[in-house]
Structure 1
Amino acid sequence: MGEPFYITTAISYPNGKPHIGHAYEAIAADAIARFQRQAGRDVRFQTGTDEHGLKMVQTARDRGMPVADLASEMSSHFRRMCDTLNISYDRFIRTTDADHYRASQAIWQAMEASGDLYLDRYEGWYSVRDEAFYDEKELVVGEGGEKLSPQGTPVTWTAEETWFFRLSKYQQPLLDLYSANPDFIRPEARRNEIMRFVEGGLSDLSVSRTSFDWGVPVPGSPGHVMYVWVDALTNYLTGAGYPEADMHHWPADLHLIGKDIVRFHTVYWPAFLLSAQLPLPQSVFGHGFVLHRGEKMSKSVGNVVDPADLASAFGVDALRYFLLREVSFGQDGSYSAEAIVTRVNAELANAFGNLAQRTLSFIAKNLGTLPDTGRAEDADGVLIEEVVVAVAGLNQTFSDLMLSQGIEAWMRGVFACNQYIDAQAPWTLRKTDPDRMNAVLRTLVRAIRILAIAILPVVPAGAGAILDQLGVPEDERDHAAIDDDGWYARRVASGAPLPPPTPAFPRLELPAETA
């Protein structure tokens, strides 16, 4: 097994169905996980649902059903979204899982053993929607004069007995962590925001509730359940096997989350882990929002779209490609039906899909099998070098979590292939110089294989279909296989026919009713 790589998404709060933001995060994490598997890493990829808290209790009450039934019903929507979008998770965790209860209570007891938990009375502002407590200084004033959280959500004054975590004790250790590990919080804008927040002073954090019982019971404290963020954040440990001593995949290499919950993951979470004397994750990356035609999605505006509907309208690979190509990772991005069709047709369908289709169709029609020999020229080696350089660019930028730039680098290899095939014109060589035609086709097949392997993490179904048509074995689709052409010699020696290919990336049409 290779070196461990543990990647997680935030676990989704299932008081409503999935939206495009959930899909974007899952797709991005999946592309990173697939890329790391290709690099030979022993990947563990976890996603799931965060099912406790007051919002779930209130939603279940409004629907007249037991909260456990609501949790199961809504969690299934998120699992279905992941399966629809071809998300290669290793575990879909639910915070109602029995092993998660054990892990949450174990970290609680570890923090208690460090002297960082004490019982007191909480009075302050609480946002049910955010499941978060806020200081008076953090609140903003709404248009009607009402107090709102920094996220613009309603807050209520809450007073109850709770357990507190000594977050103030960890102010300097956290600042030291950020200073010593600049990549702990990414991108840099998020890091700067968190450093300013922590430098402003940390108050102790209320970490239990007595006003409802839907949560993980606090050990040895009847009537108290854990504040949802203690429970929710611990899911990452649960997935690594905590509290067992041998946690092969811990610490996590990457927590991939939305920018609106960076504080919980980069202030509360490392403080909990420091208190429990557990290793800290390597990096937390706060991605941006995906907007609809530049506007934040809202049920009241009526622009919320089910990602399953988008996948059905445009195809899973097309949706995956668009989101990762269009949105600069870490920044906000926007989508529309027109933008999806334009981007996917120009690059995925016309540039790469058509390159593969016309090359393989030409071979199937005129040769029947992959060409064996042919008269090579300098242009052949130049093309392969250009493709290898383009793929190296993708690998480097994907390693740095620059996903859009990685696909852009890959496209340079695709464009080089299209320039090559137009310049070499194998359809003309078929009549004038068949020996040279064979070399051109062989060069194109080699280039297409390399490009298909490289883009597999982004469009696994379509790129996989091209590799299937070429006869590239599944165990020869990683980074190490790119420089090895042994598959080609084996395929030629087998004499296996090359059947007419099926288009892997068909052109899209704009739906009659655009999303």
Structure 2
Amino acid sequence: MNRFYITTPIFYVNGDPHLGTAYAAINADAFARWHRLRGDQVLFVTGTDEHGLKIQQSADEHGVSPQAWVDQTSAHFLGAWRELEISFDDFIRTTQERHHRTVQQFLTAIYDNGFIEKGHYVGLYCVACEAYYEESELLDGGRCPVHERPVTEMSEENYFFRLSAFTDRLIDLYESGAIRVTPEFRANEVLGFLRQGLKDISITRTSISWGVQVPWDANHVFYVWYDALINYLTAIGYGDDQERFLRWWPAVHHLLGKDIIRFHAIWWPAMCLAAGIDPPSELLVTGWLLVDGAKMSKSSSNQIDPLAVARELSSDALRYYLLSSTSFGSDGDVSLDRLRATYNADLANDLGNLVSRTAALIVQKLGGEAPSVPELDDRVQSLADLMAQGTQAWSEFRPNAALSAAMEMVRFSNSLLEQTEPWRRPSGDADTAWCLGAVTEGIRLASALLSPAIPQATGGILHRLGFENMGELEWHAGHRGQLLHRSEPLFPRLARDRS
């Protein structure tokens, strides 16, 4: 059995989930669901990042302890992911004792290997990013390039990670493809960073106490980014369960936003090398969701509440729109109007109507007895070809292409009905049985490709067509479902006027 380990970035709990964070979780969930459908052993890890200066400041502003604050805000993410059908296997919180233990063991290994040294640091710090920047990286007026807020000069005694020692090794790993980056053009971006040369970086703080304590110096806590990255090892038992660790590492797929690629593509692999373990095998880098060309974020006024959308329509409608309307790795402009239009066109009209129409014809013309799937021939070869295209697209982390293939299968199946016109034929007619059998199989296979995006509705589709489960991921002549009955529409059409 193949193994598939996928992670999201752990989400910083200084605000509620927005569509951008939901987008990352939904993509990772879709990939995990596809690999489960293939029969792979899957480990899907997500969670919340709960340390750092921002958290301490937010807790102070609300008059509560940092732990009380993160208990409340982390619960919002946990609840949101459940509502959006995020099928995670583990939810890491960086305040958990297991995570503190892993962080201390991992960074102690780096320290013992001679790659952490004490020093004094002065740098330009963005509190919102929890990151230092070089002056050359800032916008006009000394502003953070991500949050466009002024940075702060900070000075304190720190321990430093000797990042500069790994420049050449990291270049070799990316040039050889030992660390893969999807989409590929992001690898060139990483190599551009590396060829500028790397500087040693601060990894501890003395100015705050809210973090994982440095085991060899009680006056320091680890910098939040180092703490956060190590969650990928916490989930697989690093330092505690060697057998489990070796079972899952380093064949991991880290899904992350393009704004945090530097941490994941440079710092994290270097940390792994310094600790004496292999670097992660693949980085899956998403673009940004844009509203009218501007990035959606917690600090802006252009947020779209993913839970409000899911409650109005369904989590499936939101998931389908986000996965189908953007090309993975590229920025995508989104809007509620386009989401509703996509729901009506693809889910309500094309897919929903096909399922309802097919089930009704089977009840009307075949007495509700599901037809046998015919042999694959030239008349339906396109369905098998589209299934192969969609399968390949999922394996290559191209969800929009996989869903496009599925919808082409839906439209092809609709055209078979139009060409055969079973409603004009007598009950029990052979061509009617052939057509409805072929269309039913086309819907089943399309549902397989769609299921990572619309997991709730997929169960309804299979039920309406008499299937107990998804079955094989290729054309399966001869099999049939159970007795069918008429059912309510899967996707009620939305009224055009939303005013």
Equivalent in the alignment of 2:418:
422
Deviations 1:214-272 (A, max 9, x none): 11111120121000111100000011111121112222431000100000000000000
TM-score of the aligned structures, taking structure 2 as reference length:
0.95
* Residue among 149, 157, 160 paired with 1:161: 157
Matched, 1:336 2:331: no
Which letter maps to 2:192? R
- d(CA) in 2 for partners of 1:119, 1:112: 10
| Displacement of 1:469 | 2.5
- d(CA) in 2 for partners of 1:337, 1:443: 36
Checking the alignment, whether the CA contact within 8 Å between 1:6 and 1:252 is kept in structure 2 is yes
* Residue among 471, 476, 481 paired with 1:484: 476
Equivalent in the alignment of 1:189:
185
Checking the alignment, whether the CA contact within 8 Å between 1:7 and 1:44 is kept in structure 2 is yes
Equivalent in the alignment of 2:408:
412
* Residue among 210, 229, 236 paired with 1:233: 229
- d(CA) in 1 for partners of 2:386, 2:48: 38
- d(CA) in 2 for partners of 1:438, 1:251: 51
Moved more, 181-190 or 247-256: 181-190
| Displacement of 1:7 | 0.2
Moved more, 500-509 or 16-25: 500-509
- d(CA) in 2 for partners of 1:87, 1:176: 36
| Displacement of 1:430 | 2.8
Deviations 1:106-161 (A, max 9, x none): 111110121000111111111111111122232222xxxx3122323321111111
TM-score of the aligned structures, taking structure 1 as reference length:
0.92
Deviations 1:286-315 (A, max 9, x none): 101111243333677632222101111221
Checking the alignment, whether the CA contact within 8 Å between 2:370 and 2:484 is kept in structure 1 is no
RMSD (CA atoms) = 2.0
Which letter maps to 1:44? L
Equivalent in the alignment of 1:15:
14
Equivalent in the alignment of 1:130:
129
Checking the alignment, whether the CA contact within 8 Å between 2:20 and 2:297 is kept in structure 1 is no
Equivalent in the alignment of 1:221:
217
SS of 2:207 mapped into structure 1: coil
* Residue among 242, 245, 256 paired with 2:242: 245
Equivalent in the alignment of 2:447:
452
Which letter maps to 1:471? G
Change (3 A) 1:252 1:371: closer
Checking the alignment, whether the CA contact within 8 Å between 1:373 and 1:435 is kept in structure 2 is no
Equivalent in the alignment of 2:23:
24
Which letter maps to 1:4? R
Checking the alignment, whether the CA contact within 8 Å between 1:383 and 1:416 is kept in structure 2 is no
* Residue among 502, 509, 514 paired with 2:488: 502
* Residue among 186, 196, 200 paired with 2:196: 200
Checking the alignment, whether the CA contact within 8 Å between 2:158 and 2:205 is kept in structure 1 is yes
- d(CA) in 1 for partners of 2:226, 2:51: 11
Which letter maps to 1:502? E
Equivalent in the alignment of 1:384:
380
- d(CA) in 2 for partners of 1:162, 1:49: 25
SS of 1:430 mapped into structure 2: coil
Equivalent in the alignment of 2:466:
471
Deviations 1:74-130 (A, max 9, x none): 011111111111111001111111111111001111101210001111111111111
User: After TM superposition, which residue ranges in structure 1, 4 or more long, deviate above 4 angstroms?
Assistant: 298-301, 371-374
- d(CA) in 1 for partners of 2:460, 2:380: 22
SS of 1:150 mapped into structure 2: coil
- d(CA) in 2 for partners of 1:481, 1:294: 39
| Displacement of 1:332 | 0.7
Change (3 A) 1:511 1:87: farther
- d(CA) in 2 for partners of 1:99, 1:299: 29
- d(CA) in 2 for partners of 1:287, 1:383: 38
| Displacement of 1:510 | 5.0
Q: What is the percent sequence identity of the aligned residues?
A: 39
Equivalent in the alignment of 2:171:
175
Equivalent in the alignment of 1:274:
273
Which letter maps to 1:147? G
| Displacement of 1:481 | 4.7
Which letter maps to 2:442? A
Checking the alignment, whether the CA contact within 8 Å between 1:50 and 1:94 is kept in structure 2 is yes
